[in-house]
């Protein structure tokens, strides 16, 4: 069995640390039933044109979050509101499937970030190693 050299050990440690960061972020933002219902409601409101967003901020808003300061105009359409409520009710009936796919998407994104970060760490470590070897070799006297 071959032993790992120092660069490979550094890569493994960085990869594990990056995995901890990615999993922690995923746990904090893990979708629940309320997130699924909110997503369905927003999609339905957009589909039936119940909200009209103005992309200018409210001058009286004190929140540092610009999205909270954006003014939204409610459009009064009882038929569209019934359709939105029906879409949310249908989403409640299919809550298990919808939530499963929402969580699967979150897990896939987390895995992608971890894999991409790990590959970036590996490439950065390899470039650093190769550059170091090249510089050291340049200072050696010819034999």
Q: Which residues pair with 52 in a beta bridge?
A: 73
CA distance 75 to 66: 22
pLDDT of 48 = 66
**What's the residue count for the chain?**
143
Phi-psi region for residue 15, left (φ > 0), alpha (ψ -120 to 50) or beta? alpha
User: Is-above-0.85 flag for pTM?
Assistant: no
Q: Rounded mean pLDDT of 8-22? A: 89
Q: What is the pLDDT of residues 44-71, one digit of tens each?
A: 777 766 555 544 555 666 655 555 555 5
Q: What is the pLDDT of residues 73-127, one digit of tens each?
A: 555 667 777 777 787 788 778 778 888 988 999 999 999 999 999 999 888 888 8
Would you place residue 24 in the very low, low, confident or very high pLDDT band (cuts 50, 70, 90)? very high
Q: Which residues pair with 70 in a beta bridge?
A: 57
CA distance 109 to 31: 13
């Amino acid at each position: 069995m071959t032993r790992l050299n120092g660069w490979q050990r550094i890569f493994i440690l960085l990869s594990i640390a990056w995995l901890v960061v990615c999993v922690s972020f995923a746990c904090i933002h893990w979708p629940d039933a309320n997130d699924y219902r909110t997503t369905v409601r927003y999609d339905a409101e957009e589909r039936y044109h119940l909200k009209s967003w103005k992309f200018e901020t409210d001058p009286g808003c004190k929140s540092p979050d610009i999205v909270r300061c954006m003014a939204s105009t409610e459009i009064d359409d009882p038929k569209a509101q019934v359709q939105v409520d029906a879409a949310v009710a249908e989403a409640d009936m299919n809550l298990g499937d919808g939530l499963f796919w929402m969580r699967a998407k979150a897990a896939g994104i987390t895995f992608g970030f971890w894999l991409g970060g790990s590959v970036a760490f590996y490439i950065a470590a390899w470039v650093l190693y190769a550059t170091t070897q090249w510089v050291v070799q340049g200072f050696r006297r010819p034999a």
